[in-house]
Amino acid sequence: MEEVLLEELIVYGTVFLLCGLTVWLYLRKKNKKTIETVQKVEVAKEEGLFEPVSLYPYIDLNTCIGSGACITACPEKDILGIVDGVATVINTSNCIGHGACFHDCPVEAITLRIGTEKRGVDLPHVSEEYETNIKGMYIAGELGGMGLIKNSVEQGQQAMKSIAKNKKTSKENVLDVVIIGAGPAGISATLAAKELGLSAITLEQDSLGGTVYTFPRSKIVMTTPMDLPLYGKAKLYDTSKDELLQLWKKVIDEHDLEIIEHTKVESIVPAADETFKVTTNTGNEYVCNQVLLSIGRRGTPRKLGVPGEDTHKVAYRLLEPEQISNKKIIVVGGGDSAIESALLLKDKNEVVLSYRKDKFSRLKPKNREKIEEAMAKATINVLYNSNLISIGEQSVLLGTDDDQIEIDNDLVYIFAGGELPTSFLQNAGIEITKRHGHIMKKH
């Protein structure tokens, strides 16, 4: 009897020890993850990456159960982590709005938001149906806060379905819809309009693809499949700009769609008969029953206003870096676009990167690694605390804390961001409000 009791005590004791060891290992691992995440958050704060700049995940700590599903779902690195059993944001500035975390959270503890208590973001008023405060005028894509290509493509389709649902009786010389902007949302909307039997025309101030067109040729722009009207599911993994543009062109050509490039819309004027008159910089006018705006948030590139900026040697986007060689180039800016352009130009050219601050902030991790490596190898000359003062025919003048420097120069690329087309929207009657922590709904 005593032997049986002893054996039972040994079994229970072993089970207890194993359970205790398991719990201890779990808590140790959990504590280690917490320490690692806290350290990453501190680094993100130091580097200016903790505060969001666009769409970002907001976590309800009272609802979060710390499952880690959001971290697994996020295709980016170190956007989210776990601290003390609940999720937290880390490099929030690098979030590009996939929304995978929002969809995969098992307890719906995540909402997608734009703007914070400290930093508001100007957004137009858009309903669940993508309609603005002006009846018959719709917005889809980046302008409404959803900047990711896949999100914009989805919104372009959904907005066009709303437009089709509210289709008015056809009139002679009156289009069902004019689509302004041929970026991801605009192209998707153009295809959807054809699929839904709507008469439409698409106007683009630059080239097909909008902002995507301005990306470096090899830049990866798509990492997940998307549904494209008139085409079906496009299986896109590690897809470059060129591959995506070729796909769009193929579908557009096959269905004989009308997209007019290099045509800027100057005004949208509502008429008494509830139509709209859309006027372009070429003097053409289009009358339509409804309008879809898919023009992006950046609008016109921001200029520095320095002497010589209007010369032919100055550009605000890098289109064909492989065609540029043996040039002395100044790249102005400290964001990802400036860094990526400087990196693409450095192998065949002499590149100077001018940045007005004392260090880079809010860079994507890969860009930070590459620029630091280039600086270490002296393949790019980075001048912190410098400002472009003037641009001459064969040189530029830079101002620093201590002095002014004249540098021999052939080309200047300026990446100072873009100006939100606020006045254009307001002239069309669209209401714009500065939003703080505004919840974005994924339709």
Q: Is residue 236 part of a domain?
A: no
Q: Is residue 34 part of a domain?
A: yes
Question: In CATH, what number is assigned to the domain containing residue 284?
Answer: 3.50.50.60
Are 52 and 12 within 8 A, CB to CB? Answer: no
Residue spans of the chain under pLDDT 70? 1-13, 15-30, 96, 98, 144-148, 209-226, 230-232, 234-241, 297-300, 441-443
Q: Is residue 200 part of a domain?
A: yes
pLDDT value of position 353: 96
Close Cβ partners of 360 (under 8 Å, ≥ 6 residues apart):
334, 339, 368, 371
Claim to verify: residue 51 and residue 152 sit in the same structural domain: no
pLDDT value of position 384: 93
Q: Is residue 224 part of a domain?
A: no
Claim to verify: residue 308 and residue 378 sit in the same structural domain: yes
Q: Where among 88, 114, 140 does a domain terminate?
A: 114
Q: pTM for this structure?
A: 0.68
pLDDT value of position 3: 61
Claim to verify: residue 202 and residue 336 sit in the same structural domain: no
Q: Is residue 218 part of a domain?
A: no
* Number of independent structural domains in the chain: 3
pLDDT in tens, 279-303: 999 889 999 999 999 887 666 678 8
pLDDT value of position 93: 80
- The Cα 382–Cα 371 span in angstroms is 9
Claim to verify: residue 179 and residue 274 sit in the same structural domain: yes
Q: Is residue 337 part of a domain?
A: yes
Query: In which domain, by residue range, is 52 found?
Result: 2-114
Claim to verify: residue 294 and residue 175 sit in the same structural domain: yes
Claim to verify: residue 287 and residue 313 sit in the same structural domain: no
Question: In CATH, what number is assigned to the domain containing residue 36?
Answer: 3.30.70.20
Claim to verify: residue 286 and residue 385 sit in the same structural domain: no
Claim to verify: residue 161 and residue 177 sit in the same structural domain: yes
Q: Is residue 51 part of a domain?
A: yes
pLDDT value of position 132: 92
Claim to verify: residue 127 and residue 153 sit in the same structural domain: yes
pLDDT in tens, 182-192: 888 888 899 99
Claim to verify: residue 50 and residue 177 sit in the same structural domain: no
Claim to verify: residue 387 and residue 281 sit in the same structural domain: no
Q: Is residue 78 part of a domain?
A: yes
pLDDT in tens, 169-221: 878 889 999 999 888 888 889 999 999 999 999 998 877 766 665 555 555 55
pLDDT value of position 206: 78
